[in-house]
Amino acid sequence: MTRTYAIIGDPIDHSLSPALHNASFAFLGLDCTYIAYRVPKGELDASIADLKKIGIAGFNVTIPHKVDMMKLLDETDEQCKIVGATNTVVNTDGRLKGYNTDVEGFLDPIRKRNIDCKGTDVLVIGAGGAARAIVAGFAKEKVRKITITNRTQENAEKIVKFAKQLGVESEYVDLAQAGDIAPSFKFVVNATSVGLKGSGLPISTKNITKDSIVYDIVYMPVETQLIEQSKEHGATIIYGWEMLLAQAMKSFEIWIGRPAPYEAMKLTLLGRF
């Protein structure tokens, strides 16, 4: 019988996950399919009941359900518990187990470059769900200090508190000053949606140097303004698509129990941009 997977969220029509997973299923000759299922806020409980009824094998969870989904799980992995959010669920006879592949998905491109984060100072721009996974990732890699900057200070303070709970030194800086102090950090990570579809710069790049590692998790376009300008300063660049691909590969491996086909997924992803 065909095994069906899905991504739930709202909006969902722009999601690249169906293309990525369906390409992998086809490449490996698996009798599986992956659909996008729009679930508006307030309709999560009923939609999960429906997914169980159709015997969904597993699903990804995206905005706005990553946190709310936690209370509908029967079991969670360690990363879910730490971040307080899930993006990958396995359904075994109606029992749901949640995973969080965003943390490892974020770290994967750093590890591939053999960059050591231990004892370093990092700047995270943003204070949403992605920023939480990134802070958990940096904490796992034992960075010395995580500085958070964000449009809304109140949201940033929550992430500062979260980092401290994970045992990492942390502080808030004002968004207007973050660009000035960029040289103090080994990593500058954009975890806001600024840059999406050419929507500008999250911080000033004037002080980015060749020693900076600029990681922009926005993946549409591939070359955001932050990446373009940071490249001009000679910085090391990590692209948003690399995280997207890594977290999708990890979801695939949880569901299917075998390695995801990297090249097939990468070709599919980059072909879409």
Please give the residues from 62 up to 81 whose contact with ligand NAP meets the rule CB under 6 A.
63
Q: Report how far residue 56's alpha carbon sits from residue 128's, in angstroms, rounded to the nearest whole number.
A: 28
Max Cα–Cα distance, the chain, nearest Å: 58
Is position 150 an interface residue for ligand NAP (rule: CB under 6 A)? Answer: yes
Question: Is the Cβ–Cβ distance between 44 and 65 less than 8 Å?
Answer: yes
Of 171, 168, 146, 144, give the one whose Cα is nearest residue 157.
171
Q: Report how far residue 120's alpha carbon sits from residue 201's, in angstroms, rounded to the nearest whole number.
A: 24
Is position 19 an interface residue for ligand NAP (rule: CB under 6 A)? Answer: no
Q: Binding residue for ligand NAP (CB under 6 A) from 18, 58, 98, 129? A: 129
Is position 201 an interface residue for ligand NAP (rule: CB under 6 A)? Answer: no
Considering the candidates 52, 66, 145, 206, report the single residue annotated as catalytic.
66
Is position 151 an interface residue for ligand NAP (rule: CB under 6 A)? Answer: yes
**Residue 196 CB, nearest approach to ligand NAP (Å):** 5
Q: Binding residue for ligand NAP (CB under 6 A) from 44, 163, 173, 194? A: 194
- What residues are paired with 89 via a beta bridge? 59, 98
Is position 127 an interface residue for ligand NAP (rule: CB under 6 A)? Answer: yes
Active-site residue, 66 included:
yes
Applying CB under 6 A, the span of 7-15, 72-80, 107-115, 151-159 interacting with ligand NAP comes to: 151-159
**Residue 255 CB, nearest approach to ligand NAP (Å):** 18
**Residue 216 CB, nearest approach to ligand NAP (Å):** 9
Q: Applying CB under 6 A, what is the total number of residues that bind ligand NAP? A: 25
- CA-based torsion, 64, 70, 75, 81: positive or negative: positive
Is position 218 an interface residue for ligand NAP (rule: CB under 6 A)? Answer: yes
DSSP 241-271: HHHHHHHHHHHHHHHHSS---HHHHHHHHHH
Q: Render the burial of 209-237: b for 16+ CB within 10 Å, e for the rest.
A: eeebbbbbbbbbbeebbbbebbeebebbb
Q: Which residues bind ligand NAP (CB under 6 A)?
A: 63, 102, 105, 126-131, 150-152, 155, 191-194, 196, 217-219, 240, 243-244, 247
- Catalytic residues, by residue number, are 66
